Chain A
Amino acid sequence: MSQLLYTFSSSHTAMEAELLCEDAGHPCRLIPLPSMISAGCGLALLCPDAYGAAVNHLLTTHRLHLEGLYQGGGKTWEKVCHDLS
């Protein structure tokens, strides 16, 4: 099943994203950044595809700065966009 991976340049921003998802009841969690994705804060927010729109909305309304958004699963991830705005 395809999933979404949000990356951030700040671990604190990544954690705030996870807490926002937790509050909203979205089944998303922080995971270590897969090694094929470079840079970032070393953490990424993993979300089921179905929650993409809701998570995008949360991140934009709370103005959390995103580094990248990837789609895929396991070891294969493809960059979807840099910026949600």
Chain B
Amino acid sequence: MIYLDQSATSLKKPAEVARAVYQALTGTLGNPARGAHQAALEALKAVGRARRSLADFFGVGPMDLAFTPNATYALNIAIKGALSKKDRVLTTRLEHNSMLRPLYEMQAQGMALDFVPLNKQGFYHWADVRSALRPDTTAIAVNAMSNVTGDIAPLPEIAELCFKRDLLLILDLSQYAGTRPLPVMKNHPRALIAFTGHKSLYGPQGSGGLIRRGPVTLRPLITGGSGVLSFSHTHPDSFPEVCEAGTLNVPAILGLEAAVKWLTRQGLMHVQEQVDALRLQLMEGIQSIPHLKVYGAQRDAGPVAAFNIAGMDSGAVSQLLDEQYGIMTRPGAHCAPLWHEAMGTREQGAVRFSFSCFNTQEEIDMAIAALRAIAKTAD
């Protein structure tokens, strides 16, 4: 079995992650932020330490990091909690539905929404972002790394633009986080940054978060138990409580903490080099395969690659790979409808390969051989 769908979720996690999740279930941790007995305080402390580890990893203060079940929740909280019908948001056609659908909901309530156009390669230059700005734009919402092609957004330039014009930056780090350090920014704009734990961060499903940078006020999206101000009719709007209604997923959070500690110990750059080499191996291996069209604009993109074989349906190719070669990949639209519309692959979709540091060169060789064999059938 060869698993090349790591962008959907990384299959294998470091042993430390599994141990941390197990440890959290062995009977010492109560409900964090509910009560003040030993077990509750133990859980609150464990979450507090995890918050610090994650905040360190992202280079922010611990009180600016809230835990959410995944990036989808974080983006919904950010978009519906920080924006209103008075806003005008600029986004791109590389966004995932977890960014697009909340934005469309806000648009239906009167918020204005503009898009940066894509070029022939299915990407954009940062100058395209600048020219798509309107005088009344108030926020930019971007995916840091395409989940279809791995292409990386021009983050320092976008951040600088947001800083200079005092625009709120809403950033989707779902695919980016764990693949490489965040680029150095000259200035940090006000930002809400969403991440998910179960992809390249190698954490458990059910972990993720929202980072706040600078003064941003949020209305709570989900309200309920917060463990504080119980007699108030409204949920607290202080960070991180505003994002953390209900009991936290402590086992997943502690698993995610173990994952970022593991990543830091390995060295993010080291892991990146390993995974980037696998992608490059694939790209070079498939270059000469006839009928194979590779998508994407950047050579040094993230650990994702998308392609099609002649006019073959991407679902059929993916199924052949799975059933005949034991290689698991993802066909279809990858929740990125606007990219597929721009590339004319709405019907065909695309086959996506995505890698983690637990994949091997042998697996990539086998994948290249399988693609070569399948492409022959298209002759």
| A positions within 8 Å CB-CB of B | 9-13, 15-16, 18-19, 30-33, 39-43, 62-65
B62 within 8 A of A: yes
Interchain Cβ contacts under 8 Å between A and B, 30 examples: A9-B229, A9-B236, A9-B238, A10-B238, A10-B240, A10-B241, A11-B44, A11-B228, A12-B51, A12-B240, A12-B241, A16-B48, A16-B62, A18-B45, A18-B48, A19-B45, A19-B49, A19-B52, A30-B36, A30-B44, A39-B229, A41-B33, A41-B227, A42-B36, A42-B228, A43-B41, A62-B61, A62-B63, A63-B61, A63-B63
Name B35's contact: one of A9, A31, A42 (CB within 8 Å): A42
**Which chain B residues (209-268) contact chain A, with CB distance < 8 Å?**
227-229, 236, 238, 240-241, 244
A15 adjacent to B44 (CB under 8 Å)? yes
Q: Which residues of B are at the interface with A, using a C-beta cutoff of 8 A?
A: 32-33, 35-36, 41, 44-45, 47-49, 51-52, 61-63, 227-229, 236, 238, 240-241, 244
Give the complex CA separation of A8 and B32 in angstroms: 15
What CA separation (Å) do A31 and B32 show in the bound complex?
14
In the complex, A42 Cα to B31 Cα: how many Å? 14
Asked whether A16 lies within 8 Å of B44 as measured between CB atoms, the reply is no
Residue contact A11 to B32, C-beta cutoff 8 Å: yes
| Additional A-B contacts beyond A9-B228, A11-B33, A19-B48 (5; CB < 8 A) | A9-B229, A11-B228, A12-B48, A31-B36, A41-B33
Chain B: CB-nearest residue to A38: B231
Q: Which residues of A contact B63 (CB under 8 A)?
A: 12-13, 16, 62-64
State the CA gap A66–B254 with chains docked (Å): 27
B61 CB, nearest partner CB in chain A, Å: 7
Q: How far is the CA of A13 from the CA of B61 in the complex (A)?
A: 12
Asked, given contacts A16-B62, A31-B36, A65-B238, whether A11 binds B227 with beta carbons under 8 Å apart, the answer is yes
Q: How far is the CA of A27 from the CA of B236 in the complex (A)?
A: 30
User: Closest 3 CB pairs between A and B?
Assistant: A32-B36, A15-B48, A11-B33
Q: Which residues of A contact B227 (CB under 8 A)?
A: 11, 41-42
Chain B residues with CB under 8 Å of A41's CB are: 33, 227-228
Residue of B nearest to A19 (CB): B48
Chain B residues lying within 8 Å of A10, measured Cβ to Cβ, are 228, 236, 238, 240-241
Residues of B within 8 A of A31 (CB): 36
Q: Which one of B36, B238, B241 has the highest number of Cβ atoms from chain A below 10 Å of its Cβ?
A: B36
Rounded to whole angstroms, the CA-CA distance of A18 and B228 in the bound complex is 18
Most buried by B among A10, A12, A42, A62: A12
Per the bound structure, the CA–CA distance linking A13 and B244 in Å amounts to: 13
Q: How many Å from the CB of A62 to the closest CB on chain B?
A: 7
Contacts of B48 in A (CB 8 A): 12, 15-16, 18-19
Nearest Cβ on chain A to B168's Cβ, whole angstroms: 21
Most buried by B among A39, A40, A41: A41
Residue of B nearest to A39 (CB): B229
Residues of A within 8 A of B52 (CB): 16, 19
Given A9-B236, A11-B227, A42-B228, the answer on whether A30 and B61 have CB atoms closer than 8 Å is no
Chain A residues whose CB sits within 8 angstroms of the CB of B229 once the complex forms: 9, 39
Nearest CB to that of A33 among chain B residues?
A: B36
Task: Name which residue of chain B comes closest to A64, CB basis.
Answer: B63
* A38 to B24 Cα, complex, angstroms: 32
Report whether A12 and B36 are in contact in the complex, using a CB–CB cutoff of 8 Å.
no
Residues from chain A with Cβ under 8 Å of B244 in the complex: 12
